Structure 1
Amino acid sequence: MSAPASLCLLRTSAIGDVTHVVPLVRTLQAAWPQTRLTWIVGKLERRLVGDLPGVDFVTFDKGAGKEGFRAVREALKGQQFDALLHMQVALRSNVLSLAVKARRRIGYDWARAKDLHSLVINERIPARTGEHVLDATGSFCEPLGLKQTQVRWDIPVSEDAMAWAHAQWPGDRPTLLVSPTSSHALRNWRPERYAAVIDHAHVRGWRTVLVGGPSTYERTMADAVMAACKTPPLDLTGKDTLKQLLAMLTRAQLLLTPDSGPMHMANAVGCKVLGLHAASNPDRSGPYSDRRWCANKYDEAARQYLGKPASDLPWGTKIEKPGVMDLISVDDVIDRFEAAAAQMGY
């Protein structure tokens, strides 16, 4: 088909999912450099991707209540798009999509549509199972006649952010970043287990750095990890911005984290990821480019908590049960750490 004059992308959150949209933006820009792209994105998430070149951003502040919806309607007033790529099925997003005037409204297939999603779209992406979330996001260009065959991020990182990251630790000693907290509490590992891995990495000559957001929840986790460490890591919890975290991830060799936004940020800049997976399937939501270093107990969790192998579960099933992350032992993670370190020559 000929290049559309304008497209509106709707994916407001969360950090990991927004990171998955960036390769789709790159695919659209490569195919149709003259097409005007507008992305409705969350207030926090815009701090990560809002400087992508060639994209107009409209911020949705979900914390602002009705005013947040009104601000989006006002920003889009008088605009007509050739198509809406509606990549979020939550009820809030489905309501928000009504602010977008577009003849073609492309959303999820029947199996993945929920919360009235089907009422605000008139086309669907191909119905597939067994694919990574990033590939599902990339398939939103297929009804437009394109195919995402390459995955490229190139999220801008400013010189100031890089300078800040370099100032936090000097030299080129191998560095393990630990981001211990997911927004889903049942995906989190025990603080003392993070501490055991941090101590192991320290004995092996690695620098260790603890990172996380400024919330009380994340500060509490960081304090518990620090208290359990024999040799405390450099604690930068709550001290960085998203761009500064991205800059640190470009410098670090390895990130240890549960299924979370920083996992996908790290993957986007080429940092290896030691992901902790028992509550979620790494083949669906793990680090997209390389999952070799993940500690994967998802199948064991499926058998223990749901009574069947992971291969028998509907794709995307989450096993967010109390104690599920305890299936991942310290030895499991140290094994993956050593495998990644050996592959990198450390």
Structure 2
Amino acid sequence: MKHPLPAQPRHIAVLRLSALGDVCNLVPTVRALQRQWPEARITWIIGKAEHSLLAGLSGVEFIVYDKASGFAGMRRLWRELSDTHFDVLLHMQQALRASVLSLGFKTGVRIGYDKARAKDAQHWFTHYQLAPHPRAHVLESFLDFARLLGVEDFTLEWNLPVPAEAIEEAAALTGDTPYLLISPCANPRLRNFRNWSAEGYAAVIEHAWTQYGLKTVLSGGGSTQEREMGERIVALSHAEAVIDAIGSTTLKGLLALIGRARAVIAPDSGPVHMANAMGTPVVGLFATTNPDRAAPYRWRDYVVNRYPDAVRTYLHREPDEIHWGQRVRHADAMTLIRIEDVIGQLDALLTRPNGRKQEDETDEA
């Protein structure tokens, strides 16, 4: 039997395991829930890497599920929570693995996406579905969960914790030098064609150095693809203009680097959303994914958007003729982004009257 939605939930479960950008976009929903019900417990079931980024988030209890642990890890998690009853479960992960995981949690109210947004038959695993919200940004889709529960204040708030050791880690790399941060590579997954060219990045680095006296910090993970990209960019750039930090920072250290940067440039990947969360100006590079759905939310006006061109060129359709959020899986799509596009948006950010987003600015989603 389906239970009614709780008017004042005492214990809320949030199920979102991945990815780094998505969990950053989810934090304003958690903050909205906290403002509405400050006494409620919030337990977030989250992935391992994502937890390392958000660890210490105020007012949130984290339960970590390592996807590599498979079904055995699910059983361990179910045993750990066997005596816990949630007033409501917000099922925010559109994946069959997460839906199976959700079955082991004790709750009479499971909220998931509406059929148009759900994937992997998620609506079969939930009691309530969100109201339709066509063409919603990912951040807005998360806020829809709070909206269904009756939350009214949707002021965007993050306040991500950055520990002292992370700040020290960032300072050790950059000192007091003002810098631009470039994270050149998205997650190296199959047919994930989101990366721009080393030549393009080198040209932007040269512009930042000669026009603004800004060094560029290169960031990223330790994969072969990322290291090779970093090496190509460094080889094409003046040595004094680049600090290569690829593969040498923790996620908290990267968050600190992003927080101290004058601006960030990256493709559709975790760092653009980390910058958005930290209030750091960011130029997102988008051609294979739709920025209307996935751009850094507060900096959408500064996105380099070649997605419509990519849809027309490689899918031979108009953007309004395809499924919302459909990706352009073509290796050449990012070549549609021009160097002058990126430099133009960077100039627009760096010459803004306030320079950075002010701490007291708020947004209504």
Query: By the TM > 0.5 criterion, same fold?
Result: yes
What is the one-letter code of the residue matched to 1:71?
R
Aligned to 1:180: 184
Q: Secondary structure at the match of 1:143?
A: helix
Residue 41 (1) aligns with residue 46 (2)? yes
Q: Spell out the pairing of 1:1-346 with structure 2 (5 A cutoff).
A: 2-171=7-176, 173=178, 175-183=179-187, 184=189, 185-204=192-211, 205-231=213-239, 233-343=242-352
Which whole-Å CA distance do the structure 2 matches of 1:127 and 1:212 have between them?
36
Which whole-Å CA distance do the structure 1 matches of 2:345 and 2:181 have between them?
15
The total of aligned residue pairs comes to: 345
Q: How far is the alpha carbon of 1:208 from its aligned partner?
A: 0.8
Which whole-Å CA distance do the structure 1 matches of 2:226 and 2:284 have between them?
18
Task: Note the aligned Cα RMSD (angstroms).
Answer: 1.6
Which whole-Å CA distance do the structure 2 matches of 1:344 and 1:221 have between them?
34
Identity score, percent:
42
TM-score, normalization: structure 2?
A: 0.90
Q: How far is the alpha carbon of 1:7 from its aligned partner?
A: 1.0
TM-score, normalization: structure 1?
A: 0.95
Which whole-Å CA distance do the structure 1 matches of 2:143 and 2:336 have between them?
33
Q: How far is the alpha carbon of 1:345 from its aligned partner?
A: 7.9
1:24–1:148 CA contact under 8 A, matched in 2: no
State the Cα deviation string for residues 172-228 of structure 1 (Å, max 9, x = none).
Answer: 53x210101101540111122111211221222111110011223322221222222
State the Cα deviation string for residues 2-49 of structure 1 (Å, max 9, x = none).
Answer: 311111100000001111111111111111011111110001100111
Listed as ranges, the gaps of 5+ residues in structure 1 are none
Which whole-Å CA distance do the structure 1 matches of 2:75 and 2:49 have between them?
18
Q: Secondary structure at the match of 1:343?
A: coil
Q: How far is the alpha carbon of 1:316 from its aligned partner?
A: 1.2
Q: How far is the alpha carbon of 1:256 from its aligned partner?
A: 0.8
Listed as ranges, the gaps of 5+ residues in structure 2 are 1-5, 356-365
Which whole-Å CA distance do the structure 1 matches of 2:7 and 2:300 have between them?
37
